[in-house]
Amino acid sequence: MAADQQTPQAQWSTTVTPVVAAITALCASTALSGVIEGFRWLGYAGIALMVVTATGLGLRALRTPTVLVALAQLFALLCLNVALFTSSGILGLFPGPAAFADLGTVLEASVEAVRVGVPPVPATTPVLCLVVIAIGMVGLSVDTLAVAAGTPAACGLVLLCVYAVPASLADEMLPWWSFVLGATAFAVLLAVDGAHRQHMWRNRPVGSGTGGGLGSPSALVSVALAVGLLVGATATAVGTVGSLPGGGSGGGAAGGLALKPFTALNGMLSQGANVELFRVRGLGTESRYLRAMTLPRYDAAGGWQPAEALPDNVPASGDLPLGPGDDGGGLITTIEIEPINSKDLWAPVYGIPRRLRDLPEGMFYDPSGGMVYSRNNRTLPKYVEEADLTQPAAEDLRTTGADYGEIDAIYLTNDGIDGDVVALAEDLTRGESTSFDKALAIQEYFSSANGFQYRTETSGATGVEALKDFLFTSKIGYCEQYASAMAVLARAAGLPSRVAIGYTAGFQSGDYRSITTQDAHAWVEIFFPGEGWVTFDPTPLSDGRGYQPPYVEEGTSTDPSGGVTEEEFPSAPNEPTTAAPEDDVPTDPTLGAESADEGFSLPWTAWAGLVLLLLAGAAAGLRRMWAAVPLAVLGGFFLLSLLSWWLSALWLVLALAAVPATIRGRRRHLHRRAMTTPGSADPATAAWREILAESTDRGVPIPESDTVRLAARRMAKDHSLDEPGKQALRTVVDSVERSWYADRAGDDPQLRSAFDEVVAGLRRTSPLAMKSRLAPRSVMRRKQRPSED
């Protein structure tokens, strides 16, 4: 046997193992469902793995060195990113200077999405690009370890990283089925490799007791995985809630939506479907904001952030202590708050909470931040707040002075604020003699008269640049940007400020007010000695959800809420809608189409693809493969067009490339059927034709002038047939000669077994290379005797 010919076992390791490795990587990638919305991204991950695996399969079939295979897989992954996420590639596929620049822009947006996004993030173009790169690199690593290095067990470390990333980002537990898929696929990969190694070990067959049982590698690995998952479910802290699925989450039922703080000027509080979160009774006609948390720390690079630590020495149940600036007076309003689909760390409250009832154990109150919270996400029962909703008068706020000794110095920290922002704050407050008038002047700056607009589409700048772009250039943003910017200007003007996050008043529905995810909101709170924290809202909402306290209306004639918005929210709907408005998903026209869902309608290409696949399945069931294959190819073309027309074109090219192998497979099937079908006219001729085709595929075409015996001798010599193969070939030749010259067709019971042994012998001594499988010579070079197909 030639030195460069692959044994069947070697072919197994270079064909089956890479496919199983790719499936394993895809199963592990399902862990990202905890941090990315929907499943559109999974298709992109699958495409990346297909490209990496196909490149490796092709190059290894050509005996390419391992290092070059890995480099080629990297280049193929780069070309895929160019084709999917840029429009400036050479021939739409290959990277050039313009494509690199466009891809760099997308990657910058990807980094920003990771930095400021709150899981689960929408499957936008930057996120999809990151998925293709990350999962492609995982697939390359797994492919290299499992195939080139022959150490599939080491792939477990790579797959563990795939699970570790979403586990560290998501508040919710990773889905249990993702663990099952990943563990099962990894066990199959190890079992496949173990079976291959036992076949290859010193060329000895698998003996009894070596391929299975409790001592086999696959069994040991499966047991280890099961033990690891069992221990992890009870003793480890995967994810931020504290255990694997099934291990408990620290209270509360599964599901629910949580309000998360933002850390920069590039996030959205209103995301996803419009789901009811709370029902509030007892508030009356008051359009007050429901506060969940406050952000006291400002960092120029990181934006507004929560306090580093919250006190846990004040239980939330019962009478609550007074906070800074609170004299304990005011009328008490009893409010009932019923969480519906909320599962959060925070128990939102109105105004100044005096007393809370019916909250579970483990809830605490922070008098400084005005927050009620738990250490773990939980679904709260209905609870009652006795709140002081008294509002100060404008004149009272003008006489409070500037003694801030009773609050933490963190509320006055203004280090790192850009000089241009400081200058703007000084200009806005110049000539204002009181803290209240300074606060009003800053809020009035964000009016539509100064060009500010409310939109959910903003620039791609980050950090300080995002703040400056919003204040001086674009002046377009949503509530988080307005609140962040005003709080920074207040700090720059020497006013103690913080950002509050919670909900607007919602809408009246029967005897309660309904608060949904679309009511998520951010505003500013400024401290006044003797009065406490006072609300200011610079966001120009025009849909009736905004709230301007009486002291703002008394203190200025300007209506800060009169700005023009390019987004109209539903006003007082009868019930929450099931889908968010289209504008709720920020898009960037330079990055292509985003993944915002537009209802349940499917484009015509999806319907065409599904119908064609159904027809292909029906044709296959009727054994009409001549119709099933083209229908399946066309169906795949239309379905892939949903992702990219470039991928559809690639699919057609690959389908055309597979035509020779498909024709060869069809002929092989017809020949075998002619040998095995009872009553067949001439099974010996069919067997001989198939053997001639097998020889031609292996580079030894038989001249038409050769007799059957001469052709057999040529094949035995050129293919180095072993003794069992030669003996079987003699049997076939005898059967063919009797059929052709003695008119005794179809009566040789030894023909089929002899034919199978000849083919097996050819595969043992002269295995087909991948190139010959994809482009069989018997199809590409038709040099057959006239009696053949």
Instruction: Evaluate if residue 489 carries a pLDDT over 70.
Output: yes
Domain ranges in the chain are 8-170, 262-585, 604-650, 661-780
* pLDDT tens, residue by residue, 556-567: 644 433 333 333
> Dmax over Cα atoms in the chain, in whole Å?
123
Q: Write the single-letter amino acid at 610.
A: L
Band (782; pLDDT cuts 50, 70, 90)? low
Instruction: Evaluate if residue 264 carries a pLDDT over 70.
Output: no
* pLDDT tens, residue by residue, 441-458: 999 999 888 888 887 554
With a CB cutoff of 8 Å and minimum separation 6, the contacts of 678 are none
Band (650; pLDDT cuts 50, 70, 90)? confident
State phi, psi for 90 to the nearest 5 degrees: -70, 120
Q: Mean of the pLDDT values across residues 71-91?
A: 88
Residue written as token pair 């199959």? 188
Give the Cα separation of 353 and 388 in Å (integer): 6
**Cβ atoms of residues 501 and 370 within 8 Å:** no
pLDDT number for residue 115: 60
Give the Cα separation of 664 and 678 in Å (integer): 23
**Which residues make beta-bridge pairs with 276?**
516
pLDDT number for residue 776: 86
**Cβ atoms of residues 192 and 59 within 8 Å:** no
Which span out of 127-131, 380-384, 764-768 was modeled with the highest average pLDDT?
A: 380-384
Tokens (6 digits) for 359: 């909250």
**Which residues make beta-bridge pairs with 477?**
454
Tokens (6 digits) for 512: 């309660």
Residue-wise DSSP of 305-351: E--S----SSBSSEE----TT--S-S-EEEEEEEESSB-EEE--EES
Residue written as token pair 């097996």? 760
Provide the strand spans (E) within 577-728: none
Long-range contacts of 530-534 (CB under 8 A, 24+ apart): 530/325, 530/327, 530/400, 531/325, 531/392, 531/396, 531/397, 531/400, 532/323, 532/324, 532/325, 532/326, 532/352, 533/323, 533/324, 533/325, 533/370, 533/498, 534/392, 534/397
Distances (CA, A) of 676 to 168, 446, 680, 754: 59, 85, 8, 13
Instruction: Evaluate if residue 531 carries a pLDDT over 80.
Output: yes
Long-range contacts of 677-681 (CB under 8 A, 24+ apart): 679/746, 680/746, 681/745, 681/746
Helix (H) or strand (E) holding 488, with range, is: helix 479-492
State phi, psi for 252 to the nearest 5 degrees: 90, 160
pTM for this entry: 0.47
Taking all residues of the chain, what is their mean pLDDT, rounded to a whole number? 76
Q: Write the single-letter amino acid at 586.
A: P
Give the Cα separation of 349 and 357 in Å (integer): 12
Q: How many CA atoms lie within 13 A of 153 on its CB side?
A: 8
Q: Which CATH class is domain 262-585?
A: alpha beta
**Cβ atoms of residues 21 and 63 within 8 Å:** no
Is the model more confident about 445 or about 272?
Answer: 445
Give the Cα separation of 404 and 31 in Å (integer): 48
Closest to 181 measured CA to CA, from 159, 214, 166: 159
* pLDDT tens, residue by residue, 216-245: 444 444 455 445 444 444 433 333 333 333
Give the Cα separation of 447 and 560 in Å (integer): 5
Tokens (6 digits) for 479: 């509530």
Is the model more confident about 267 or about 426?
Answer: 426
With a CB cutoff of 8 Å and minimum separation 6, the contacts of 603 are 642
Long-range contacts of 40-46 (CB under 8 A, 24+ apart): 40/123, 40/128, 40/595, 41/123, 41/127, 41/128, 41/131, 41/595, 43/643, 44/84, 44/128, 44/131, 44/132, 44/135, 44/643, 45/131, 45/132, 45/135
Give the Cα separation of 246 and 231 in Å (integer): 11
pLDDT number for residue 258: 62
What is the percentage of the chain residues whose pLDDT exceeds 70? 73
Q: Write the single-letter amino acid at 459.
A: S
Tokens (6 digits) for 776: 């069989």
pLDDT number for residue 394: 93
Task: Count, in order, helices (H) and strands (E) of the chain.
Answer: 24, 19
Give the helix ranges, DSSP H, for 40-175.
Answer: 40-61, 66-85, 97-116, 125-143, 155-169
